[in-house]
Amino acid sequence: MLYSDKVMDHFNNPRNVGVLEDADGVGEVGNPVCGDVMKISIKVSDDHIEDIRFQTLGCGAAIATSSIVTEMARGMSLPEAVSITKKQVADELGGLPPAKMHCSVLATDGLKKAVDDYLVRHGREPIAIGTIAHDDPDFDPHAQGHNDASDVHGG
């Protein structure tokens, strides 16, 4: 299984790592049992993402997708931000191995949750609710990864 150079760049030099002390919205998704957890905090001004930070426990793809999604979302309007798809994230990174596609879901879900958190805090209607894969109890993050040559148990 091979990662693109861009994935490796974002993994080795992740952008926007950290927590915004006075965040307007925070989203956390994932589960340590599955090996990946992501937390995004955003600052919002007139419904645009002004600043953004992430923390991620996870594999190379989880960290790289987290990093790229913060770059993609910065400056976007909230509706734009929640409409970022896992495919856009993967494409932005020059592609992901099939077994890793689910990691980009982690990133987009984290962002969606942060946006909804901001809206709810301000007594507004959440706009991403229902589109968050990690809220679906039947969600199998690895479902895609299963006919991939990389999916092997080595020595």
Catalytic residue IDs: 34, 103
Write the interaction track for other proteins spanning residues 35-74; mark x where CB under 8 A is met and - where it is not: xxxxx---------------xxxxxxxxx-----------
Position 9 contacts other proteins (CB under 8 A)? no
Binding-residue pattern over the window 90 to 129 for other proteins, x denoting contact by CB under 8 A: -------x-xx-----------------------------
- Which residues inside 22-41 make contact with other proteins, applying CB under 8 A? 28, 32-39
In sequence order, the 6+-apart residues with CB closer than 8 A to the CB of 138 are none
**Exposure string for 18-43, b = 16+ CB within 10 A, e = fewer:** eebeebbbbbbbbeeeeebbbbbbbb
The answer to whether residues 44 and 25 touch, using CB atoms and an 8 Å cutoff, is: yes
